[in-house]
């Protein structure tokens, strides 16, 4: 039986899915919805095609890997080039789910291998640090905008708490790097470049994890 390829167009809040025999549908880009989709895909034995999309495809990748579904995470540029060759690229320069299914059927791209658990853990911690730093920045801005004594005390307390959380995450980042000879060596090489410290090096290594096989 010929392999069936399903195209998935990934957005922040939802996934548009195209099945060549059943047409299009939309689901929420949330773990419960993706798990349901992945289990159904595993039962049918389909192959899922989607673009690398700056982290929005993280839930989809995790769900497909957990259900042992074959998938290809393709470079957006390659997908757009294919769509242009087919003469159907839209004004938004996006490749929709139907075209991704056609991409899979015509080109049969290789399966994307599972990500390294250590690198994925590093990516998760780098992401969490970025979130905490952004929250601290927002609270610092609020501190500058208010003169109310009680409010300032509360904001300062929250800033202190966030700084402690950031320190804890940074310590965890260092632990993850040192636990892996591969990451430790990459970290050493990156930090040999002037101006590159632990966090910058870790961020660069985490991006490799997030963008693997684009």
Distance in angstroms (rounded) separating the CA atoms of residues 120 and 181: 15
DSSP 8-class letter at 46: -
Q: Where are the domains of the chain?
A: 5-107, 117-210
Cβ-proximal residues to 165 (8 Å cutoff; 6+ apart), any chain: 132
Q: Express each pLDDT in 28-59 by its tens digit.
A: 999 999 999 999 999 999 999 999 886 789 89
Percentage of residues in the chain with pLDDT exceeding 70? 93
Q: For residues 203 and 153, which has the higher predicted lDDT (pLDDT)?
A: 153
Q: Express each pLDDT in 68-123 by its tens digit.
A: 999 999 999 999 999 889 887 665 556 799 999 999 999 999 999 877 788 878 88
Task: Report in angstroms the alpha-carbon separations of 24 from 19, 69, 133.
Answer: 6, 19, 39
DSSP 8-class letter at 212: T
Mean pLDDT score, 181-205? 90
DSSP 3-state of 22: coil
pLDDT at 73: 94
pLDDT at 208: 65
> Residue 171 pLDDT > 90, yes or no?
yes
Mean pLDDT score, 173-182? 93
In angstroms, how far is CA 43 from the centroid of its own chain? 25
pLDDT at 110: 95
> Residue 212 pLDDT > 60, yes or no?
no
Q: Which fold has domain 5-107?
A: Nucleotidyltransferase; domain 5 (3.30.420)
Residue 120 has phi, psi (to 5 degrees) of -65, -35
Distance in angstroms (rounded) separating the CA atoms of residues 84 and 92: 13
Are the CB atoms for 17 and 27 separated by under 8 Å?
yes
């Amino acid at each position: 039986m010929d392999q069936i390829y399903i195209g998935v167009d990934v957005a922040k809040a939802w996934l548009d899915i195209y099945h060549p025999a059943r047409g299009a549908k939309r689901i929420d880009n949330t773990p419960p919805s993706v798990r349901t989709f992945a289990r159904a895909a595993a039962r049918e034995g389909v192959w899922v095609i989607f673009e690398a999309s700056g982290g929005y495809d993280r839930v989809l990748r995790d769900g497909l890997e957990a259900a042992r579904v074959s998938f290809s995470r393709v470079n957006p540029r390659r997908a757009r080039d294919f769509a242009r060759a087919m003469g159907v690229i839209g004004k938004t320069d996006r490749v929709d789910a139907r075209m991704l299914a056609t991409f899979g059927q015509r080109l049969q791209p290789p399966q994307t291998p599972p990500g390294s658990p250590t690198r994925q853990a590093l990516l998760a911690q780098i992401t969490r640090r970025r979130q905490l730093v952004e929250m601290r920045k927002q609270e610092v801005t609020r501190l500058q905008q208010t003169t109310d004594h009680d409010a300032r005390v509360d904001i300062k307390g929250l800033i202190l708490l966030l700084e402690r959380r950031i320190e804890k995450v940074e310590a965890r980042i260092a632990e993850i790097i040192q636990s892996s000879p591969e990451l430790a060596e990459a970290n050493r090489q990156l930090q040999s470049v002037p101006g590159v410290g632990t966090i910058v090096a870790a961020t660069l290594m985490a991006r490799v994890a997030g963008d693997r096989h684009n």
